[in-house]
Chains A and B, each alone.
Chain A
Amino acid sequence: EVQLVESGGGLVQPGGSLRLSCAASGFTFSSYWMSWVRQAPGKGLEWVANIKQDGSEKYYVDSVKGRFTISRDNAKNSLYLQMNSLRAEDTAVYYCARDQGSGGDCSGGSCYSDYWGQGTLVTVSS
C-alpha cells in the first residue's frame, strides 16, 4: 500500500524557516517524480514544486522561487521541502504527492499526482 506521511509543520514567524519531510513507503520511491502541493485555509490547491527521480531536475511555482528548496534522499525514501523567508501567504496545508506523467514519466516537471499524503499545516504568523 502506498503511504506518504508528512511532518515538520507548525507555527513560524514571518521571515522564519521550516523544513518539511515526507516519508514514503509501499512503492519504489526512487522510481518516481515527487511533488509538494499546498492549500491555504478555505482555498484551492496550488502546486509548489516537484523533483525528478534522481534529483537532477527541480521545478517551482514562481511565488516560492529563491525561497523554497525541494530535495530528496532515495536511500531514506524521503522527500523534503526547505522553506525560508516565510510569509503570511505561505500559510497552508502542505501535501506530499507521488507523480506520474504522460507515458509514465514527467517531461520537464509536467506531472499529475496519483497518491497524496494527509498533509501538514504550516502557519506563518507573529
Chain B
Amino acid sequence: AIRMTQSPSSFSASTGDRVTITCRASQGISSYLAWYQQKPGKAPKLLIYAASTLQSGVPSRFSGSGSGTDFTLTISCLQSEDFATYYCQQYYSYPSFGPGTKVDIK
C-alpha cells in the first residue's frame, strides 16, 4: 500500500498569509494526487485533482504542484473561510489519504 505523509500536521496563520502544505508519497504516483478541504462536522470538498487541476468552482487562490513523490498545496492569500483541515490523497493505486494538515487562526 502507498503511504502518504503531510507536513506540517498543523499550524497557525493569519488572513492574507500565503500558506504551503506538503504531501509526500512512499513511492512514485506520477500526478495521481488530489487535495481536499474539510471543515468540522462537514464532508470533505475536492479542491484539486491530477496534482494541479483546480476543481470547478474552487477559488483560484488555491493551487497545487508536484509529481512523483512530492507535492504541495498553496493558498496564495488565506481567507477566513479557508481555516480547515486539508488532506492529500493518492489514486495511483487503491486510494489512500494523508493524515491531514489543520490550518487554524493565529
Contacts and interface: CB of A to CB of B under 8 A. Distances in A.
Interface in B38-90: 38, 42-46, 49-50, 55, 87, 89
A110 B92 contact: yes
A100 B94 contact: no
A101 B91 contact: yes
B43 A110 contact: no
Given A59-B94, A116-B44, A44 B50 contact: no
A37 to B, nearest CB: 8
A106 B99 CA distance: 23
- The B contact surface, by secondary structure, is loop
A85 B26 CA distance: 31
Measured as residues with beta carbon below 8 angstroms from the partner, the interface class of chain B is: 20 to 34
B36 to A, nearest CB: 8
A100 B97 contact: no
A102 B97 contact: no
B1 A62 contact: yes
B99 to A, nearest CB: 5
Contact of B91 (A44, A62, A110): A110
A14 B32 CA distance: 37
B95 A112 contact: yes
A44 B100 contact: yes
Interface of A: 35, 37, 44-47, 50, 59, 61-62, 95, 100-102, 106, 108-119
